[in-house]
Chain A
Amino acid sequence: MDLELQKRAPLLEALQEFRRMRVVPFDVPGHKRGKGNPELLSFLGRQCLEIDVNSMKPLDNLCHPTSVIKEAEAIAADAFGTASCYFMVGGTTSSVQSMILTVCKEGDKIIMPRNVHRSAINALILCGAEPIYINPQTDERLGISLGMETADVVKAIQNNPDAAAVLVNNPTYYGVVSDLKRIIDAAHLQNMKVLVDEAHGTHFYFGEDMPVSAMSLGADMASVSMHKSGGSLTQSSILLCGENINTDYVRQIINLTQTTSASYLLLSSLDIARRNLALHGRETFKHVNELAEYARSEINCIGDYYAYSRELTLRSAVYDFDTTKLSVNTYEIGLAGIEVYDILRDEFDIQVEFGDLSNILAYISLGDREQDIERLVAALAEIRRKYKKSRANLQRYEYINPIVALTPKQAFYSVKKSIPLENCAGEICAEFVMCYPPGIPILAPGERITGDIIDYIKYAKEKGCLMTGPEDMEINNINVCGGDK
């Protein structure tokens, strides 16, 4: 990383210069620096609306970058230690989809753990590739899925030598890291590309004492959610590309689905966040890690809660663990994670990232302060004092091995019929069913529905998980393949 170069922020500088030029706008957006929408102006402020502008010569164009965006991307690539990168404005969803669409065509196989984000399987609906799922190992006590056993990946590579790519989470939402180095070596030996979803791993590129970043291990592409641990605005993301990727083709792929009116608020936030990470990332994430460690040790002193950490690496499916992630198991309190999540928000005005059936995840980041951590810890202590009960009625997450009957694309575009959830056993699902967050599908299009899955969906609904995916927003009916017409 070139530190002198990292002090620059070409997009920010161009926007500041643009402000000084006081250009008269006869182009879009029609609010014309907010003058046409005074309510919005007073809500968001002049600072914001003055730079909500369209692509133009001094500000470059995200679809075809040649000047300041190109420069900003090159500096970001230097910061992440990769050959090239693209700024993305459709969230890391669009980064993950662009990775898959770049390397997979209709009929190609792609090896991935089943606990991928929905965006990965969405991409398969778009391009018609076939998923080869690896069972992410499950920790029964915690009720979370872990990483992939390297042996399982190697076996899948051997059994599917024609696969185009392997996709890996680095880390999972909970912070679990697989042995990426050995997976990359095995995949490259078979000429498969390695795509890495690093939505939860931006800080790996800048912090110390952390799991290793994908690109430094030789991955071909990686998607980093700058807006998660990196500090940029929601919806901004970066797609990293290695040397063996044709970046001009990647640009074409991105432009298939990306807006032609990219927001300069998002783009400048990427530029500024990158500079901050490059110059101060090491101290910042040291502090984040200390906060997370402190919170973990205090929470573990309350009793019954279990905030886990590196000890998970005793499991072979956990190669490493991201200690900035603060996941807390709530099983011994007798409450589902989602119930603790709801109580924290409704009674304590504390919003955590998500609650699943047995855990909550509190996102600790560069914006946190000691006193906020105290609030979380105190609230958890209070919840235990007031609500602790028998855990007799709690179910734990179980991994249900998916039976892939059709590719996601075949299933999604097949003739469908809508039938009540309880009558779905044996049918092939034609849509997604998931709890959001974390957005990891319980059912993906093309998978055979079983009695266990139906029970699991009903239980998650009953506990108050926000279920998304199906056409029927109440999730009483599911679209399955094979209709009358």
Chain B
Amino acid sequence: MMELWFSEKHTENVKLSIKVKRHLANKTSDFQQIDVFESEEFGRFLTLDGLMMMTEKDEFIYHEMMVHVPMAVNPGIENVLVIGAGDGGISRELIKYDGIKKIDVIEIDKAVVDICVKYLPHTACGFDDDRVNIYYQDGLKFIREPKNEYDLIIVDSTDPFGPGEGLFTMEFYGNCYKALTDDGILINQHESPFYREDSLAVTKIHKRIVHSFDIARVYQAHIPTYPSGHWLFGFASKTCHPIRNLRATEWKQLGILTKYYNTNLHKGAFYLPNYVEELLRNVE
């Protein structure tokens, strides 16, 4: 019997394989190779240059943790900038908030959006809202212009190599600082602390964010299809502390429906394993 498997190397010696039912889309854009597969276990999933970006089964963890953590610290957020996020999942979570007035989404590769709209409607539905404006350009270029404009910037980037490289740099975080309002919050996907190569990226990113922001904390979640399954996120701000400034009651009153996130988990997510604490402390 014939079997088709998608495999991604998590290190030189470890790989994750998912049995594929159908290969739905395959396109080489100006920036990367884009694929969508369908599987029994994870539903449809998107890969860029052969690396797992999201699956229908576990994407809710990632997207909820990127959006609701900052929203519960400052439920008054009005202007949001999302960098990356061609799959629409971040926008889908953001549009649950009536208080948000503007969501600017910057995506370098229009082909990703087109493919997600066609093949991943459950996440790409995030683009169907009047408040969402998509700009197809380099995030690093876009971020140079705005000053004191956004209450929240979410960096939903690929890995720190390939087209997303510029979104892991000192100049990018510095420009984000400038683009944020005084109580603005920067959220970024922060790679995994577990395997050595990935953990080097974690420390590099943290060092750079610490350099630009007064408050720079890291939180975690379980994401089964990402390398090691243990994933980190960054929370950085000029003034807001992710736990001390948590407005749990206010957030609960909004009645936002979530599958992963709650305000107790919010607090817990910032308590990290010792080895991760140490990784981060070494560069602070």
Contact = CB atoms under 8 A, between A and B. Distances in A.
Interface of A: 347-349, 370-371, 374-375, 377-379, 381-382, 385-386
Contact of B170 (A348, A370, A374): A348
Contacts of B174: 378, 382, 385-386
Given A377-B144, A382-B170, 11 more contacts: A347-B170, A371-B140, A371-B166, A374-B141, A375-B140, A375-B166, A377-B141, A378-B144, A378-B174, A382-B174, A385-B174
B138 interface: yes
Contacts of B170: 347-349, 379, 382
B236 to A, nearest CB: 16
B86 to A, nearest CB: 16
B231 interface: no
A249 B166 CA distance: 52
B146 to A, nearest CB: 12
A374 B140 contact: yes
30 contacts: A347-B170, A347-B211, A348-B170, A348-B171, A349-B170, A371-B140, A371-B163, A371-B165, A374-B138, A374-B141, A374-B166, A375-B140, A375-B169, A375-B171, A377-B141, A377-B144, A378-B140, A378-B141, A378-B144, A378-B166, A378-B169, A378-B174, A379-B170, A379-B171, A381-B171, A382-B170, A382-B174, A382-B175, A385-B174, A385-B178
Contacts of B165: 371
Contacts of B261: none
A371 B171 contact: no
A371 B211 CA distance: 23
By Cβ-Cβ distance, the 10 closest A-B pairs, closest first, are: A378-B171, A379-B171, A382-B174, A374-B140, A382-B171, A348-B170, A374-B141, A378-B140, A374-B138, A371-B166
Interface in B171-195: 171-172, 174-175, 178
A378 B172 contact: yes
B144 A348 contact: no
A242 B169 CA distance: 49
A39 B42 CA distance: 43
B143 interface: yes
Given A374-B141, A378-B143, A349 B175 contact: no
B173 to A, nearest CB: 9
A435 to B, nearest CB: 26
Contacts of A370: 138
B184 to A, nearest CB: 16
A371 B169 contact: no
A347 B170 CA distance: 7
Nearest to B178: A385
Nearest to B142: A374
A370 B172 CA distance: 15
Name A's interface SS: helix
Chain B interface SS verdict (over half): helix
A349 B144 contact: no
Quick one: which of A347, A370, A378 has the most chain B CB within 10 A? A378
B144 A381 contact: yes
A385 B143 CA distance: 14
Contacts of B178: 385
A378 B163 contact: no
A375 B138 CA distance: 10
Contacts of B144: 377-378, 381
Task: With a 10 A CB-CB cut-off, give which of B138, B141, B170 has the most chain A CB atoms.
Answer: B170
A386 B211 CA distance: 12
Nearest to B174: A382
A381 B211 CA distance: 16
A348 B166 contact: no
A475 B10 CA distance: 51
Interface in B208-238: 211
Contacts of A374: 138, 140-141, 166
Contacts of A347: 170, 211
A376 to B, nearest CB: 9
Interface in B140-172: 140-141, 143-144, 163, 165-166, 169-172
Contacts of A348: 169-171
A270 B174 CA distance: 41
A370 B139 CA distance: 12
A375 B144 CA distance: 10
Contacts of B169: 348-349, 375, 378-379
A382 B208 CA distance: 13
A115 to B, nearest CB: 32
Contacts of A379: 169-171
B166 A381 contact: no
Contacts of A386: 174
A379 B143 CA distance: 12
Interface string B114-125: 000000000000
A386 B143 CA distance: 16
Contacts of A377: 141, 144
Contacts of B163: 371
Contacts of A349: 169-170
B238 to A, nearest CB: 14
B128 to A, nearest CB: 30
A349 B165 CA distance: 12
